[in-house]
Amino acid sequence: AEVLLPSLDAIVSTLTELAQRLAHVPMLSRTHGQTATPTTVGKEVANVVARLQGARRRIADVELLAKMNGAVGNYNAHLAACPEIDWEAFSRRVVEQQLGLGFNAYTTQIEPHDCMAELFDAVTRTNTILIDWSRDVWMYISLGYFKQRLKEGEIGSSTMPHKVNPIDFENAEGNFGLANALLTHMSQKLPLSRLQRDLTDSTVLRNMGVALGYAVIGYDSLQRGLGKLEVNEAALADDLERAWEVMAEPVQTVMRRHGLPNPYGRLKELTRGKAITREAIQAFIEGLEIPAPERERLMAMTPGTYIGKAAELALRIGHLKP
């Protein structure tokens, strides 16, 4: 609550601002690495924010439990010494009111660590979302969609001075991977203890700070990288203008709505494996037997305006309940 969540909250805040600021900036999607239905930069960022909001809730909702019930969980020695005391009520009061933890009434010699496994799994899922985002930003930089602001004195490459490498996103990805490797082992190992106790959990628990530390380093690296990003609207617009094949989707959908025969096949014949131009798409639309208002609406569409509710969804993300 004092370290990990504030670091995560800072990323969510930065991404939310980015999503809203870039809500109306159109961008070509890529599915399976191929050109696909347009979106906006802000909407793609908003997708990450929505995932992180859910992940953050899962971390915060984990209740950490504790025990105070003797050598094997039955208050044997407590009752031997003072049988008149309600030791379970006393223990619950200490754990809940003085320590601020949840009380686990059913344990062996140790609290079974199920809650810790739940916490580590929640952090792992959060880190996995951020690995996914780090890789996507890396790809967007590679495509020229994002530029990185230069930092005075920073070296991009030992022999190629023109380069500004996406090192913050690469560092973030690497640290999240290390964190997840440790956290996954801990979540699988800690709930296991032979009979009423063994000590294998003890040596593993000593690395909890290491695992969470790698996660926080990853959050800091990612936040630093986000602070350097600038959107390259010219590159985005250029890619969209060269991807008129994506307009096959709205055209064939409108054709289907008005009962025209074989819309998918006709558009496939026009577009698949070919370089499609504005002129080719619009000539096809001109020949369609559809109502004039529908034809005019399709003629007015471009890859840069065919974005559906993307901008609206991006703007809305800041108003969703965290």
Task: Kindly list the catalytic residues.
Answer: 32, 157
Say if residue 100 is in the same domain as residue 173: no
CA separation for the pair 103, 232 (Å, rounded): 54
Res 269: pLDDT: 83
Count of the separate structural domains present in the chain: 3
Say if residue 179 is in the same domain as residue 224: yes
Which portions of the chain are predicted below pLDDT 70? Answer: 152-163, 320-322
Q: What pTM, to 2 d.p., does this model score?
A: 0.91
Say if residue 122 is in the same domain as residue 182: yes
Let me know if residue 223 belongs to a domain: yes
Res 141: pLDDT: 96
CA separation for the pair 45, 43 (Å, rounded): 5
Strands (E), the chain: 26-31, 34-40, 65-66, 102-103, 146-148, 229-231
Say if residue 125 is in the same domain as residue 256: no
Say if residue 173 is in the same domain as residue 123: yes
- Strand-pair category, 34-40 with 26-31: antiparallel
Let me know if residue 322 belongs to a domain: no
Distinct helix (H) and strand (E) counts, the chain = 14, 6
Let me know if residue 317 belongs to a domain: no
Let me know if residue 150 belongs to a domain: yes
Last residue of a domain, one of 79, 106, 133: 106
Helices (H), 84-229: 87-93, 114-143, 167-189, 200-205, 208-226
Say if residue 40 is in the same domain as residue 171: yes
Res 251: pLDDT: 94
Res 135: pLDDT: 98
Closest to 306 (Cα-Cα) out of 262, 253, 268: 253
Amino acid letter, residue 208: M
Assign residue 269 the CATH number of its domain. Answer: 1.10.40.30
Residue-wise pLDDT for 34-79, tens only, equals 999 999 999 999 999 999 999 999 999 999 999 999 999 999 999 9
Closest to 41 (Cα-Cα) out of 322, 313, 296, 273: 313
Say if residue 47 is in the same domain as residue 120: yes
The rounded radius of gyration (Å) of the Cα atoms in the chain is 28
Q: Tell me, what DSSP letter sits at residue 318?
A: G
Say if residue 141 is in the same domain as residue 253: no
Let me know if residue 135 belongs to a domain: yes
Three-class DSSP category at 73: coil
Say if residue 102 is in the same domain as residue 114: no
Res 321: pLDDT: 59
Say if residue 131 is in the same domain as residue 253: no
Assign residue 189 the CATH number of its domain. Answer: 1.20.200.10
* Structural domain that includes position 99: 68-106
Tokens of 35: 């050109």
Let me know if residue 315 belongs to a domain: no
Say if residue 51 is in the same domain as residue 100: no
Say if residue 138 is in the same domain as residue 102: no
Let me know if residue 313 belongs to a domain: no
The set of residues, in sequence order, having a beta carbon less than 8 Å from that of 313 and lying 6+ positions away, is 43, 46
Last residue of a domain, one of 219, 237, 255: 237
Amino acid letter, residue 145: Y
Helices (H), 61-108: 76-81, 87-93
Let me know if residue 312 belongs to a domain: no
Last residue of a domain, one of 213, 237, 261: 237
